[in-house]
Each structure stands twice: as C-alpha cells, then as structure tokens.
C-alpha cells in the first residue's frame, strides 16, 4: 500500500469515528425524544432499566414511580427516598447515552409510547 493510500485510509477511518460521536442534546430535544415514550437500557452503576416517561412528568417503572423534569440541558430524575439526579443526553435516532460530568453513565433505546404497559 502506498503512503498516500495509507494516509487516505487513516483519514477516512478518523472521519468515520468522529461522525458517530454526538454532542449532548439541548433540553428541548431531550424532552421531544423522551416525553411520552419508554427508554430501556443499561446504566453502568445500577444495571438494566425500563421506564415510561409520561408527558406530565411522572416516571413509571416495574413496581415504582418517580418524577422527571428538564432543567436547562439536562433530564432530572427523582425517585422516592432519593435526591434529584440530573443527566445530559446524547440522542441519535432511537438511541440515548446518559452523561454525567461529560462521562458516559449508561445507554438506552427509546421505544414509542408505554411499551411495557407500566
């Protein structure tokens, strides 16, 4: 392989990798993607989850409820007995990556409506 071809292949690979990186969504985009839908995925610290986010701000999970809100460019979660916890989100199509202080803390797939009938 010539040096020019090797350089072009490397440049293409870097461009492809950068194209898959998403910037954190703003608050309006997070609300538009999540409100009225279910997100199912895995959080690094706590494992698998599936929750329905009602348009009015109620979270419904398997045997529990909570509250969600948009504050600035973050989505905040509050469950009984816990303090409010806010996360930024990268959203690409039906995929979401939850970010805390710029680091990934989990991922999920956005499913239309109350997919699990919570």
CATH number at residue 56: 2.40.128
Q: Dihedral (C-alpha) 18, 24, 28, 29: value to the nearest 10 degrees?
A: 40
Residue range(s) defining the domain that contains residue 99:
23-111
Does residue 39 form part of some domain? yes
Does residue 17 form part of some domain? no
Question: Which positions of the chain have pLDDT values less than 70?
Answer: 1-21
SS3 helix, strand, coil % of the chain, rounded to 5? Answer: 20, 45, 30
Calculate the average pLDDT of the chain: 87
The reported pLDDT for the residue numbered 118 is: 97
What is the SS3 assignment for 70? strand
Q: Dihedral (C-alpha) 22, 76, 81, 100: value to the nearest 10 degrees?
A: 30
Number of C-beta neighbours around residue 108 at 10 A: 23
Does residue 16 form part of some domain? no
The reported pLDDT for the residue numbered 15 is: 40
Kindly write down the DSSP assignment for every residue of 73-106, as one continuous string.
Answer: TEEEEEETTS--EEEEEEEETTEEEEEETTEEEE
Does residue 42 form part of some domain? yes
The reported pLDDT for the residue numbered 22 is: 74
- Tally of domains within the chain: 1
Does residue 54 form part of some domain? yes
Its pTM stands at 0.81
Does residue 2 form part of some domain? no
Does residue 116 form part of some domain? no
């Amino acid at each position: 392989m010539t040096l020019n071809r090797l350089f072009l292949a490397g440049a293409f690979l870097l461009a492809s990798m950068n194209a898959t990186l998403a910037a954190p969504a703003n608050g309006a985009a997070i609300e538009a993607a999540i409100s009225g839908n279910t997100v199912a995925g895995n959080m690094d610290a706590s494992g698998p989850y599936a929750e329905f986010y009602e348009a009015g701000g109620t979270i419904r999970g398997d045997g529990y409820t909570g509250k969600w809100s948009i504050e600035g460019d973050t989505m905040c979660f509050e469950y009984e007995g816990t303090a409010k916890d806010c996360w930024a989100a990268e959203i690409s199509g039906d995929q979401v990556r939850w970010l805390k202080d710029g680091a990934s803390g989990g991922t999920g797939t956005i499913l239309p409506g109350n997919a699990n009938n919570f």
